[in-house]
Amino acid sequence: MKIGRTAGADPTTRTAALLDARAAALAARKAGQEEMVETAAYLVCACGTERYGLPLTAVAGVTPERPCTGLPGAPTALLGITAVAGAIVTVLDLAACLGLDRRGDEEGGHVVRLRAQEPPVALAVDRVLGIARIEIGLARPATEPESLGRGPLSGYAPPGSDRTGDVREGFSLLDLPALLARFTT
């Protein structure tokens, strides 16, 4: 029914026509909208010139880097232990864990405490760049045959794939269980 034709009609007919017109307008508006894409959030960190994304669901917090107490006989990637948010945590150098050159001694790094690790673990990074939201299809488990198959790397987010637009560079996606496996067993 057209609304103009129902101007003289009874109130029930006019109300039905108005509701039909509103429903049609709302349906037309949604038809032009972009399709919803499922995303996953990653904390993007820098290690030298490289960029790595940690699943945000695995991150408990970020603090400025602080001195660590070294442990005798520890692997080179294990910087030591320190207190983070009232708990003693093991601090691993992310760059060293990935086989990259050791980070410099410059100030300004960050410590990323991981959630649900026993004993508690944190990763030392050069700096945290921000949070990126990427399409869920870019994050593949490392067990899939088409994945990178190179230990702790499970995928790559190309430049411009961040839906928030905050992280413009591309970054590699980390599989934290694979990264931590050699240190927690």
pLDDT of residue 3: 52
- Asked whether 115 and 58 are in contact (CB, 8 A), the reply is yes
Pairing mode, if any, of strands 50-55 and 171-174?
parallel
Peptide linkage before 119 cis (omega within 30 of 0): yes
* Tens digit of each residue's pLDDT, the chain (185 residues): 455 555 566 888 888 888 888 888 777 765 555 567 788 899 999 988 899 999 999 999 999 988 898 889 888 888 999 988 888 999 999 999 888 876 655 567 999 999 977 889 999 999 999 999 988 876 654 445 444 445 788 888 888 888 887 888 889 999 888 888 877 66
The pTM score is: 0.72
- What percentage of residues in the chain have a pLDDT greater than 90? 27
Specify the pLDDT at position 30: 58
Q: Which fold has domain 39-184?
A: OB fold (Dihydrolipoamide Acetyltransferase, E2P) (2.40.50)
Which pLDDT does position 106 carry in this prediction? 59
* Predicted local distance difference test score (pLDDT) of residue 94: 92
Question: Can you give the residue ranges of every domain in the chain?
Answer: 1-33, 39-184
- Dihedral angle computed from the Cα positions of residues 149, 146, 132 and 124, in that order, rounded to the nearest 10 degrees: 0
Res 7: pLDDT: 55
Query: What was the pLDDT predicted at 2?
Result: 53
> What's residue 110's pLDDT?
92
Locate the DSSP E strands across the chain. 39-47, 50-55, 59-64, 78-84, 87-93, 110-114, 121-125, 127-135, 153-157, 171-174
